[in-house]
């Protein structure tokens, strides 16, 4: 006995090919459009947070290396939960990066802001 499958969009029983997921093009389109728009809302939301974080780090760290009070970042609206990558040093310090801009928590609620050196061959 075959397992009866149902359209993922409208729930109608499906007939025909066993790998079918939808009863027709209309249902498939509706389903995919909705799924796409839901995921794009989440992506946009996270992208906006990352973009804002990045702008804050660029603004407060124009020289490439700056130490600042954590409160300053919070005042600007920095969201510490969002970053694109992290780097843990041998000493166990964790840098959180938003693209090429990173922060490191120091003692006394201070934050050190750095820029990842992605330019090869740069002297210094």
Contacts with Zn ion, residue ranges (CB under 5 A):
7, 9-10, 12, 23, 27
Instruction: Using the minimum distance from each CB to Zn ion, give the nearer residue, 24 or 64.
Output: 24
CB atoms within 10 A of CB 58: 15
Q: Minimal distance in Å, beta carbon 11 to Zn ion?
A: 7
Q: What is the DSSP string of the chain?
A: -PPP-B-TTT-PBP-S-TT---SSHHHHHHHHHHHHHHHHHHHHHHHHHHHHHHHHHHHH-TTSEEEEEHHHHHHHT--TT--SEEEE-TTS-EEEEETTEEEEE-STTEEEEEE----TT---
Q: Minimal distance in Å, beta carbon 31 to Zn ion?
A: 8
Instruction: Using the minimum distance from each CB to Zn ion, give the nearer residue, 23 or 115.
Output: 23
Q: Minimal distance in Å, beta carbon 2 to Zn ion?
A: 19
Instruction: Using the minimum distance from each CB to Zn ion, give the nearer residue, 13 or 92.
Output: 13
Instruction: Using the minimum distance from each CB to Zn ion, give the nearer residue, 28 or 76.
Output: 28
Q: Minimal distance in Å, beta carbon 21 to Zn ion?
A: 9
């Amino acid at each position: 006995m075959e397992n009866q499958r149902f359209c993922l969009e409208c729930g109608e029983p499906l007939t025909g090919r066993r790998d079918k997921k939808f009863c027709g093009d209309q249902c498939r389109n509706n389903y995919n459009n909705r799924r796409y728009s839901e995921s794009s809302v989440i992506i946009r939301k996270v992208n906006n947070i990352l973009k804002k974080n990045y702008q804050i780090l660029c603004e407060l760290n124009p020289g490439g290396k700056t130490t600042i009070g954590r409160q300053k970042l919070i005042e600007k609206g920095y969201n510490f939960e969002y970053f694109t990558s992290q780097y843990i040093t041998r000493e166990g310090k964790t840098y959180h990066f938003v693209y090429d801009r990173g922060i490191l928590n120091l003692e006394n609620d201070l934050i050190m802001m750095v820029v990842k050196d992605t330019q090869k061959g740069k002297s210094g």
